[in-house]
Amino acid sequence: MKLIPFVLALLVTPALAATSADPGGALVGIVISIIVVGAICWLLWWLIGYLGIPEPFNKVARGVIAVVAVLFLINILLGISGPSVVTFR
């Protein structure tokens, strides 16, 4: 279990370095954050199937993961064209 914080630190460090003063770095940070959130959503999706949750709860949990992932993606894409809908502080 000590591997998970190490991997997350490796994934977040380039995102912090890429969001520096240059305008091209912001796009790299956005791409890295989309990849990280996609990997987390995929891991949760796999974990729900691996644990063998009963069927109605299985579909509800996967639906919640899908809705959160889509809302995050919409927020990121709207943030490229202007101010984002939700700001995380």
Calpha distance 22→77 (Å, rounded): 19
Instruction: Please determine, for residue 22, whether its predicted confidence score (pLDDT) is greater than 70.
Output: no
Q: Where are the beta strands (DSSP E) in the chain?
A: none
Asked if the structure places residue 62 within a domain, the reply is yes
Q: In which band, very low, low, confident or very high, does the pLDDT at 84 lie, cut at 50, 70 and 90? A: low
Contacts of 86 (CB under 8 A, 6+ apart): 75
Asked if the structure places residue 88 within a domain, the reply is no
Could you say which DSSP state residue 85 is in?
S
The parent domain of residue 72 ranges over: 3-81
Tokens 């790299």 correspond to: 28
Asked if the structure places residue 87 within a domain, the reply is no
Q: Number of folded domains in the chain?
A: 1
Asked if the structure places residue 44 within a domain, the reply is yes
Question: Encoding tokens for residue 33?
Answer: 């954050």
Asked if the structure places residue 89 within a domain, the reply is no
Greater model confidence, 30 or 6: 30
